[in-house]
Structure 1
Amino acid sequence: MISSPVPERGPQSGARRLRELLAAGDLVTAPGIYDGLTAALVERRGFRAAYVSGASASVSLLGEPDLGLMTASEMAAHVARLRAATSLPLIVDIDTGYGNELNVRRTVETYRRLGVAAVHIEDQVFPKRCGHLDGKAVVPVEEAASKVRAAVAARGDDEMIIIARTDARAPLGLRDAIDRANAYVDAGADMIFLEAPRSRGELEEVAQKVRAPLVANVIARSRTPVLPAADLGRLGFRLAIYPLLSAAAAAAAVDAALSTLAESGLPPTDVHGPAELFGIVGLDGWLDWSKEYTGSTAAGSATD
């Protein structure tokens, strides 16, 4: 729980902390966040990192599906707001880098300035689509490897982690996807995100044959079996991201509340009130600050 409205957030502290967490050996679990409230909830529950999904951003900000519709500037503005809302290390989805190597450089430099801990760049043809939808295609491996090299160069002496993602499993098969993953390791990627393995056996094969620390993408009702975090750690994965967890849970809860209102004319009563809701995002810290500097609770009460 954030106890102050202005927590300390050095520009490189997130990347350094994420590297330390990964070096410790335990699986790092990073739930997806898409706004200040979900960021505060993830931090409140004691998670040590958070994931910023392009899919959740597209759904929540644009009201559109994950088909590569978010622009680079829209995503950067989104990440800047989330960076201000939480002190957690952020792992950010940068899709295909929004263009060629020049665009990749600008994208990585932008996120470096924002203090992002890690980014992942993928090898899909632009415009990309959600990794668990049909109809994906990938660019030539040399082109994707060149973008990985550009991302590493653009990072400079920053501690930001560069994650290379391959979506080749669906269009080309697992063997080609593993070969691509290792080519991206040779290009300088710190970690590999091989999207959408289709069985536990495939997850095991990826863990055995890819020559870099691995990212697991955990999504309910997707192409990949959902394993407990402990199992992923035993297989050798180092980071588990849960891109749609917050957005999917919120959609279900809001839809249920709206159904109650539509059917009964009354809102549900088993939800947070103002004090509880504002408390999640740091009400006490703001009121304490107000007392210290103004001598009163200038921010007002929770029910005003």
Structure 2
Amino acid sequence: MANPSLKACFDRKKFVVAPGIFDMISAKVADGMGFDCLYVTGFGTVASGLGLPDAGIATYTDMISRIGRFAQMSRTPVIADADTGYGGLLNVRHTVMGYEAAGVSGIQLEDQEVPKKCGHTPGRRVIPAEEMVLKIKVAAEARRDPNFLIVARTDARTGLGLEEAIRRGRMYGEAGADIVFIESPESEAEMVAIGKAITDKPLLANNVEGGRTPILSKARLEEIGYGIAIYPAVGFLAAAAALERAYSHLKTAGDSNGLPASESYGFGRICELMGFPEVWDFERRWAQPAAKE
């Protein structure tokens, strides 16, 4: 079942900040920090799980077990990337039902052609808006829980321009999407225009460090009409940089002595995060006496 607290945030117009999660360590760290929502990044999940680019290679089967685990192990509501729904209308129906059954609180569907590409990379092409409208209607019909949210993303801005992207955003909201996501506007002025044009649905801002869209403050996003900001890459970019620093030190020094404490989460702390204290308590309570010779 979807976590009703996420829909409640939007119902009372509370701005939502959602960090990107990509593996269970990132999920457990973020889950303990009091966010209203966690965002399962397709880029990061495919990269960490398969070691491949987010270019339409991963399938529903590749993703569903990992996404379900994120939802199962997190107290915080989870919105998960589902690319194009992994195919046609029947695939979209199956994907929505699967994500909802897995415990996800929101699903993101986009209007790219198959195979899709990462939203801040070049060469993206979109299907006709009318085809995406049908996908959204199917998704809305397929869900069982009204707290399960549908995020409709259009990638039309890069290839077809801002006006077409806004037109599609309106159409997708009218078709049943709960949140409208216009991918990769290229200036603050464009984001302001989107906020003025679409006022009946929460707008999603995709904040990618080094991406095509300027990263605005939470206060500014609220001011211009956005309702949620996702930061899909912030976690895996930081993790990759930290790993590179640690491995570089090991390669140069030949051991981990001298690695700054700030570069390490700490073994005791990671044991606690992963739940070892509960395991150790269980073992103490159920300890068996040593067998006699």
> For the residues of structure 2 that align with 1:37 and 1:168, how far apart are their CA atoms?
34
Q: Deviations for 1:93-145, whole angstroms, at most 9, x for unmatched residues?
A: 00000111100000000011111100110000110101111111000011111
- The alpha carbon displacement at 1:157 in A equals 4.1
Q: Which amino acid aligns with 2:231?
A: Y
> For the residues of structure 1 that align with 2:8 and 2:277, how far apart are their CA atoms?
31
Indicate whether 1:126 and 2:126 are aligned. no
Q: TM-score, normalised by structure 1?
A: 0.89
Q: How many residues align?
A: 283
SS in structure 2 of the partner of residue 29 of structure 1 = strand
Indicate if the aligned counterparts of 1:137 and 1:168 stay in contact, CA closer than 8 A. yes
SS in structure 2 of the partner of residue 237 of structure 1 = coil
Q: TM-score, normalised by structure 2?
A: 0.92
Residue in 1 aligned with 2:61? 73
> For the residues of structure 2 that align with 1:80 and 1:18, how far apart are their CA atoms?
17
Q: Which moved more, 1:101-110 or 1:82-91?
A: 82-91
Q: Deviations for 1:209-238, whole angstroms, at most 9, x for unmatched residues?
A: 024211110111110001122221222211
Structure 1 unaligned spans of 5+: 1-10, 297-304
Residue in 2 aligned with 1:202? 190
- The alpha carbon displacement at 1:288 in A equals 4.2
Q: Which amino acid aligns with 2:276?
A: L
> For the residues of structure 2 that align with 1:170 and 1:272, how far apart are their CA atoms?
40
1:274 to 267, 275, 279: 267
- The alpha carbon displacement at 1:276 in A equals 1.2
Q: Which aligned pairs between 1:205-220 and structure 2 lie closer than 5 A? A: 205-210=193-198, 211-220=200-209
1:52 to 27, 30, 40: 40
> For the residues of structure 2 that align with 1:295 and 1:88, how far apart are their CA atoms?
34
2:253 to 264, 267, 279: 264
SS in structure 2 of the partner of residue 98 of structure 1 = coil
> For the residues of structure 2 that align with 1:74 and 1:189, how far apart are their CA atoms?
25
Q: Which aligned pairs between 1:1-304 and structure 2 lie closer than 5 A? A: 11-12=1-2, 14=3, 16-210=4-198, 211-267=200-256, 268-270=259-261, 271-291=264-284, 293-294=285-286
> For the residues of structure 2 that align with 1:166 and 1:118, how far apart are their CA atoms?
17
- The alpha carbon displacement at 1:78 in A equals 0.9
Root-mean-square deviation over aligned CA pairs: 1.5
Q: Which moved more, 1:267-276 or 1:122-131?
A: 267-276
**Greater relative CO (CA pairs within 8 A, separation 6+):** 1
- The alpha carbon displacement at 1:261 in A equals 0.8
Indicate if the aligned counterparts of 1:26 and 1:233 stay in contact, CA closer than 8 A. no
> For the residues of structure 2 that align with 1:125 and 1:144, how far apart are their CA atoms?
10
- The alpha carbon displacement at 1:159 in A equals 1.9
SS in structure 2 of the partner of residue 120 of structure 1 = strand
> For the residues of structure 1 that align with 2:12 and 2:88, how far apart are their CA atoms?
35
Indicate if the aligned counterparts of 2:120 and 2:212 stay in contact, CA closer than 8 A. yes
Q: In structure 2, do the counterparts of structure 1 residues 153 and 219 end up closer, same or farther at CA, with 3 Å as the change threshold?
A: same
Aligned-pair identity (%): 38
> For the residues of structure 2 that align with 1:286 and 1:198, how far apart are their CA atoms?
50
Indicate if the aligned counterparts of 2:208 and 2:233 stay in contact, CA closer than 8 A. yes
- The alpha carbon displacement at 1:26 in A equals 2.4
> For the residues of structure 2 that align with 1:160 and 1:131, how far apart are their CA atoms?
23
Q: Deviations for 1:135-165, whole angstroms, at most 9, x for unmatched residues?
A: 1100001111110111101113442001110
- The alpha carbon displacement at 1:287 in A equals 3.7
- The alpha carbon displacement at 1:269 in A equals 4.5
